[in-house]
A = this chain, B = another copy of it.
Amino acid sequence: MTKVLILGGGGMVGQKLAHHLVAHGLNGDADLSITLHDIAFPPNGAKANMRLGSVADAGVVEALAQERFDVIFHLASIVSGQAETDFDLGWNVNMHPTWRLLEGLRAQHEATGGAYVPRIVFTSSIAVFGGPYPDKIGDEFLTAPQTSYGAQKAICEAMISDFSRKGFVDGLSLRLPTICVRPGKANLAASSFFSGIIREPLNGMEAILPVPDTVRHWHASPRSAVGFLTHAAGLDTDLLQGRRALNLPGVSCTVAEQIEALRSIAGQGPVDLIKPQADAAIAKIVDGWPRNFDPQRAIALGFQSEPDFDSIIHVYMDDDLPKG
């Protein structure tokens, strides 16, 4: 029996991951005990042990650590826009619980005489980077976050790397591309519109485009996100050679190219539902984000994404678009 915990298991990616684990197991291992932890869960979500609570509350991650999960997917996070407007909340959710979790896991490691060394897969973000950028960001480019969210992610990466180097845990951090097309409603992430301009029109609804269509960004589908996470859970971390934060593969395209892909798949009707409406606050955040990567290490390690934005739209239509 492999004990799996998904922190942030009520969120979109957490639910996708949980559904995948229920249906397919984890890298061939079907004998799983799956626990999801979050502040809320969707109705009719993935079938697993559900625990309600906030990682920010005292004692919560400490108690979870005592259960000695074999694999911990740490997805719990306040999104970028919210961390930017609510400074305290951002640090209290995105940074401090990771420290307490690591300390809790280290205590279990020591209580077992070193036998317990959980795998941690942490969802970091390309928001750890800050401009100016090269045309393609390579695997040795500096982290210089220009949002609190990015700073919090970079700090968690460093903590997880050091606890792993010492052998207390065996963790790695995945700098996820923007996940697109997100199903469901828009959220408070500054990146929310990248999904909205595809999802809303495909559902016959208007979508606001708050930035110029020349904006270039870096995307991967929710299906790829699940693939990244499960691949990371099974990876031989010796191959990381001490660099435990990875830039992942994705699709680089402009908003105009996103819209062209939508037109080629769904026609002009949906495209006409996209309404440009400039939002300076969102434009400022997005302007500081990376646009393209050359993620050679992750590709060599077997991480895979879609080849183009058309494929990303098709994943949404296959997996999430209401049928009929």
Interface set of A (CB-CB < 8 Å, partner B): 87, 130, 139-146, 148, 151, 154-155, 158-159, 161-162, 165-166, 242-243, 245
Contacts and interface: CB of A to CB of B under 8 A. Distances in A.
Contact of A151 (B87, B130, B140, B158): B158
Contact of A154 (B87, B158, B242): B158
B166 A130 contact: no
A151 B130 CA distance: 20
Contacts of A245: 144
Contacts of A87: 166
A132 to B, nearest CB: 8
A143 B143 contact: yes
Contact of A144 (B130, B144, B151, B243): B243
Contacts of A146: 165, 242
Shortest 6 CB-CB distances between A and B: which pairs? A151-B162, A151-B158, A144-B243, A140-B142, A155-B155, A154-B158
Nearest to A137: B140
A248 to B, nearest CB: 15
Given A130-B243, A145-B158, A145-B162, 17 more contacts: A87-B166, A141-B142, A142-B142, A142-B243, A143-B143, A144-B161, A144-B243, A145-B161, A146-B165, A146-B242, A148-B162, A151-B158, A154-B158, A155-B155, A155-B158, A155-B159, A158-B158
A143 B145 contact: no
Nearest to A140: B142
Contacts of A141: 140, 142
Nearest to A142: B140
26 contacts: A87-B166, A130-B242, A130-B243, A140-B141, A140-B142, A141-B142, A142-B142, A143-B143, A143-B158, A144-B161, A144-B242, A144-B243, A144-B245, A145-B158, A145-B161, A146-B165, A146-B242, A151-B158, A151-B159, A151-B161, A151-B162, A154-B158, A155-B155, A155-B158, A155-B159, A158-B158
